[in-house]
Structure 1
Amino acid sequence: TCRIPGAPGYEQRIRKFIIEQVQPLVDDIQLDAMGNILALKKGKTDKKVLVAAHMDEISFMVTHIDENGFIRFTTLGGFDPKTLTAQRVIIHGKEDIIGVMGTKPIHVMTAEERNKMPKNTDFFIDTGLPVEKVKELVAIGNPITRERSLIEMGDCVNAKSLDNRVSVFILIETLRALQDQEVPYDIIAAFTVQEEVGLRGAMTAASGIDPDFGIALDVTMAYDLPGAANHEIVSKLGEGTAIKVMDGMTICDYRMVAFMKSVAEKHDIDYQLEVLTAGGTDTAGLQRYAKGGCIA
């Protein structure tokens, strides 16, 4: 799923793929007006569990095409500008067009410029096409996603959009595992939109479903890297799933945290507790926008 584009607000292609995968596995599937996929596995009682995995990815949007055909953009989601240099991207205009991000070459920077942190606004996209062709195929507002293949790297994988396609995969496979199982509560698998720009899909899904319980599947930071102090690490790669306790937008319900810990311990699943002082996930949307709140 990582290669399929899904900029916030432009999730059409990844949504089509997910529907094809999920349709045979559930009792009902609906799309809401925001574009969330709501896939229902019926339970034996009227209590509802909403499990969310966002399908969008951090991306960009065209804001300007200059007289030479270079494209300026704004970000859709949070980017570290240091990662943008020479990044290959796909502009989704009338056709999909490959481009590469560039900025002022270091050879002609002043000493002051070399010592400054780059900003997103320092970058442009070069498509290698003449300006007339660029303006024929690209328009203001077109979404832009990164161009990257998934590769195996030692015991890991490297790809764009693992945030959050790995969780999309997990949620699809969970529905597959439950296909012939009875479940006590209704399970609504919500493949949400626009998480990267403010949890917007999760808010709408929670408001419409009004779940009793909410679980958001997402990635987190593994900062077990050179230079990291022990108190900064948050989580370590390979040491088990991270059970969120809090982040910049959520303090998770202590009952849900205790439940997840007990399930992990019962089934000998390695876990670590995540306390992240910034950022946020769909958990915040589920907690706040269920009509009476939900345990999430």
Structure 2
Amino acid sequence: MNISLLKKVCEIAGAPGFEKRIRDLVLEELQGLADEVSVDNLGNVLAIKKSKKSEKNKKVMVAAHMDEIGFIVTHIEEGGFLRFHTLGGFDPKTLTAQRVIVHGKKDLVGVMGSKPIHVMSSEEKTKLPKTTDFFIDMGMSKSEVEMHIKVGDPITRDRELIEMGDCVNCKSIDNRVAVFILIETLRQLKDPAYDVYATFTVQEEVGLRGANVAAHSINPDFGIALDTTIAYDVPGAAAHEKITELGKGTAIKIMDAMTICDYRMVAFMKQTATQHHIPWQAEILTAGGTDTAGVQRMGKQGSIAGAISIPTRHLHQVIEMAHKADIQASIDLLKVCLEKMDQYDWQH
């Protein structure tokens, strides 16, 4: 597995609406991997790999979002402290004691600060934190900060990728691992059954905005989304709460809160994984959603859509963890699905 590429993809900045750095990296990696590469007005990257079977003119859209949860500067306080708004979903307690990078005229490191526990009241000590309880300390005066940072600058979290046993751990495994999977699949994919529209989408974390636009433009017959999903296989988790487990294979989505996957795509993926000895597990995610919803619904006639999900612990934290074998199984399943899609009876 190309860990050095995965490391680059996971660590690079790309908050929703500010995906340029990750987009540039994706465009660089796509050189020679597709027949056509373009960027739409919203910033989605579209890489088309044509089928050599000329009579097969159907389209398969595969979506992986490039953005990561982040923040945006809303105010510069006296003392040089920054106030911010979230871009994407955060559990406020995960902000404590974190380093961030503010992307102004140059990148500057800041730290998430809040009221010290030593001066909190008894009530404050027991209540759950809110994002508004936090500020970003730049270690500079207001005048120094204003030389480099302005209201509207994006902020991302600072954490490098490391290998831990058979796993990788980093901020933004969600969803950079899917970006990596889609690039690596394109590298290996030689003869797809139908034309493949590999789409690296923007602004998923704030409402699937890129996928909606891309699916409307592509109007796919089939759709596959790639994204992380919850692996709640930790102490205290009841068996029915786990969703998925690390090391048990790629996950085939059945539903999430925004999508009921097409029963035909679910059956096709299960059959394909089983026939090719690719380990898999079923995923039912009762909260949250992914680009699957946009891929499924925003084309003119909708698409026969499903999703390949990567089990991930500690989602939307800076310590997201995925298993290398599950990542590889996701690449394997996506590749063989794209090669064998024309051999399945989609009418039943």
What's the TM-score bracket when you normalise by the shorter of the two chains? Answer: over 0.9
Partner residue in 2 for 1:4:
12
Distance 2:50 2:181 in 1: 19
Partner residue in 1 for 2:85:
74
Q: How does 1:80-99 map to 2 (within 5 A)?
A: 80-99=91-110
Partner residue in 1 for 2:204:
195
Partner residue in 2 for 1:277:
286
Distance 2:207 2:275 in 1: 35
Q: Does residue 13 in structure 1 map to residue 24 in structure 2?
A: no
Partner residue in 2 for 1:258:
267
Partner residue in 2 for 1:113:
124
Q: Which amino acid aligns with 1:71?
A: L
Q: Does residue 175 in structure 1 map to residue 183 in structure 2?
A: no
Q: Does residue 36 in structure 1 map to residue 44 in structure 2?
A: yes
Q: Among 104, 115, 136, which residue is 1:125 paired with?
A: 136
SS in structure 1 opposite 2:193? coil
Q: Among 228, 235, 239, which residue is 1:230 paired with?
A: 239
Partner residue in 2 for 1:209:
218
Structure 2, unaligned runs of 5 or more: 1-8, 306-348
Q: Is the 8 A contact 2:39 2:46 kept in 1?
A: yes
Partner residue in 2 for 1:219:
228
Distance 2:158 2:260 in 1: 35
SS in structure 2 opposite 1:262? helix
Structure 1, unaligned runs of 5 or more: none
Distance 2:297 2:147 in 1: 44
Q: How many residue pairs align between the two structures?
A: 294
Q: How far apart are 1:184 and its partner, in Å?
A: 2.2
Q: How far apart are 1:128 and its partner, in Å?
A: 0.6
Q: How does 1:158-169 map to 2 (within 5 A)?
A: 158-169=169-180
CA RMSD in angstroms, aligned pairs only: 0.7
Q: Which amino acid aligns with 1:194?
A: Q
Q: How far apart are 1:119 and its partner, in Å?
A: 0.6
Q: Among 286, 297, 303, which residue is 1:294 paired with?
A: 303
Between the two proteins, what is the percent identity of the paired residues?
67
Partner residue in 2 for 1:242:
251
Task: Deviation per CA, 1:252-280: give whole Å up to 9, x if none.
Answer: 11011001000110111111111111100
Q: Is the 8 A contact 2:80 2:143 kept in 1?
A: yes
Q: Among 26, 40, 62, which residue is 1:51 paired with?
A: 62
| TM-score, normalised via structure 1 length | 0.98
Partner residue in 2 for 1:101:
112
SS in structure 2 opposite 1:218? strand
Q: How far apart are 1:175 and its partner, in Å?
A: 0.5
Q: Among 111, 131, 145, which residue is 2:156 paired with?
A: 145
Distance 1:208 1:263 in 2: 29
SS in structure 2 opposite 1:252? coil
Distance 1:160 1:126 in 2: 20
Distance 2:182 2:191 in 1: 17
Q: How far apart are 1:106 and its partner, in Å?
A: 0.7
SS in structure 2 opposite 1:25? coil
SS in structure 2 opposite 1:168? helix
Q: How far apart are 1:182 and its partner, in Å?
A: 2.3
Q: Is the 8 A contact 2:79 2:140 kept in 1?
A: no
Q: Is the 8 A contact 2:23 2:45 kept in 1?
A: yes
Q: Is the 8 A contact 2:61 2:198 kept in 1?
A: yes
Distance 1:29 1:56 in 2: 19
Q: How far apart are 1:23 and its partner, in Å?
A: 2.2
Q: How far apart are 1:153 and its partner, in Å?
A: 1.4
Q: Which amino acid aligns with 2:225?
A: A
Q: Which amino acid aligns with 1:85?
A: T
Q: How far apart are 1:163 and its partner, in Å?
A: 0.4
Q: Which amino acid aligns with 2:74?
A: T
Q: Which amino acid aligns with 2:169?
A: N
Q: Which amino acid aligns with 2:216?
A: S
Moved over 3 A (4+): none
SS in structure 1 opposite 2:80? coil
Q: Which amino acid aligns with 2:183?
A: I
| TM-score, normalised via structure 2 length | 0.84
SS in structure 2 opposite 1:182? coil
Distance 1:105 1:88 in 2: 17
Distance 1:63 1:3 in 2: 24
